[in-house]
Structures are given as C-alpha cells and as structure tokens.
Amino acid sequence: MSPSFGAEATADEVLAGVDLSGKRILVTGVSAGLGVETARALVAHGADVVGAARNPDKARAATEAVQTAARQGGGSLELITLDLASLTSVRTAADALLGDGRSFDVIIANAGVMATPQGRTADGFETQFGTNHLGHFVLINRIAPLLKPGGRVVNLSSAGHHAADVDLEDPNFDRLPYDPFLAYGRSKTANILFAVEFDRRHGDRGVRATAVHPGVIRTELVRHMSNEATEALMASLAARQAEGEAAFALKTIPQGAATSVWAATVADADAIGGRYCLDCHVAGIDDETAQGVRSYALDPDNARALWAKSQEMTGERF
C-alpha cells in the first residue's frame, strides 16, 4: 500500500523516503513555477531529469536551485530547448532525444499556457489547443519508444476542463467567437483524453498514462490575464463554491507539484492509468463539484476521435 496524501501535501512530503536513483524523467516547462519545483523535488531524491523549456536562458536561471538539489541528492538536471507552439521545435527536440537513445521512466507534460489572447501557433493552431495539447501529442508520441516497460506519462490538466469538451469540428475557433477560458477548457479536456487513449494504446507493455489537476495556484500560468480577469476568475470560483461546489483553497507551488510527482513515482499504476487525479488521489466522475472529472473527458470514443483529429491536424500518424 502506498501512503495516503491529501490537498496540503508537498512534493517533498510525497517523496519522503523514496529513492529515485537511476530513474530518468522528462519534465516540460522547467523555466518557472510547477515545472521547476517538480524537477527540484525529483533530482533531490536521486532522479536524472531532462528539463525542457522554450527559453533556455530563462530555464538556466530558474533552475539554479534544481542544480543545487541535484548535487545534494545525487540526481542530475539536463536542459533541452522545446517550444510546444512550434512543431518544428517539437520534432527537433524529439529527434535529438531519439538520437541520444537513452530511455525514460516517466514523462511529465507540465508546460502550458492559460487564457491567452486570441492567436495562432507557428503551425496555425489556436494557441492554447496547439500548445497545451498538440505540441505534447507530437512530442510524447514521437519519443514513446524511449519509455521503458512500466513507464508512466503524466499530463497536467486542470479543473478548467469543466468549462468545455473538445470541439473537433471547430478546434481553432474559425466559426465560434473566441473565448480564452473556453479555449483553455477545451485544451485541458484534450490533455485528459490524450492520457486516456495513450494509456489504452500502451498499457499492454506496462506503460500507463494519467492526467492530473495540480490545484489552484498563482504561477506564471496566469501571466496573460489582467489583474481584473484574475480577480474575476477567483470570484467565479467563490460563487460556484457558494452554490454548493466543494471549497477550494489556493495551493503553494510545492503543494501544486505534489500530485505530479505522486502520479509519476508513488501511486499505483493500475489505479491511475487512464484516469484523472488531484490532491494525490483518483477523482470521482461527474460528482458536480470542482473536485471531480467530467465524464466527457474520460470517454474512450471521445479520446479516439481526438487522437484521429490530432493526427489529421499535425500530419503525424502514431
């Protein structure tokens, strides 16, 4: 039995007594916030982390504490350049990892953007769907051969998936008026559905995939939101709580990284495979609270349809 943790657990508490020596883990988005803390906690317990970031100079400055933790804990940190909003960059990074040939025990797809102004990626995709989902879709599938049997994929999603199912007829808002929170919700639902289908496709070789909600945390993720928009979001969450949804509390960054490292290293793989987790446990389905997961985000037919649409949009077949 693995230990039980809750909403207030930190990444270090989850990993207490865990030796990750010899484990190689890819973490995307290591230039700020949760990505940096996730990498720090892992290397402090002996893991060899490959940290991916769009801006290598920013990542090097942000991960000084990670390098210190690596020296003290016996792990290591290697940085690579990855811009998830450019499939050229994604393919370059994937090809470099494949050429290197070293295997991974875990991939943590942590990087993402939230509530961006209307825009397009380098390949013409709506910014949030293209960055949060399609970039990781191509990266993870391309390097899937490097995942060891028994390996894991952890996709960071959000309770924001409650806002919307994916729209496979209009993924780029070509017809509907653009709404930043609707677009964010679609992309976070896509993160869950990708985990569902990846888990189905790779479970027979012992590779499991899951999606996690880190919690409500003030990080650089909200950098595209004005102060007014941020406060409006908090007010909306408070109003939903007043209407009967479970209470929410802001988490610290160490608390926010806890569910990622729990799912990556501590949780029972069969319990989390193809599921959505938060607060270091598997979430209930359609329980009408902020703590649950919507059934459309776990629907296997929906997951297969998204996979097919993602292949069509990226021009890649997996």
d(CA 137, CA 318): 10
- The answer to whether 83 and 89 are in contact (CB under 8 A) is yes
Angle between helices 180-202 and 136-143 (to 10 degrees): 10
DSSP string, 83-145: -TT-HHHHHHHHHHHHHH---EEEEEE-----SPPS-B-TTS-BHHIIIIIIIHHHHHHHHGG
How many other CB atoms are there within 10 angstroms of residue 40's CB atom? 26
d(CA 223, CA 166): 24
C-alpha span between 186 and 125 (Å, rounded):
13
Query: Is position 276 annotated as part of the catalytic site?
Result: no
Query: What is the C-alpha separation between 191 and 207, in angstroms, rounded?
Result: 17
Query: What contacts 122, CB < 8 A, 6 or more positions away?
Result: 83, 85, 86, 87, 88
Contacts of 96 (CB under 8 A, 6+ apart): 80
Token output for 307: 């996979």
> CB within 8 A of 79, min separation 6: which ones?
30, 50, 51, 52, 53, 56, 59, 60, 63
Instruction: Give the DSSP H/E element, type plus range, for residue 168.
Output: none
The DSSP letter of residue 285 is: B
Q: Which member of 178, 184, 276, 296 is catalytic?
A: 184
Tokens for 124, please give them. Answer: 């013409």
DSSP string for residues in 3-15: PP--TT--HHHHT
Give the residue numbers annotated as catalytic, written as ranges: 184
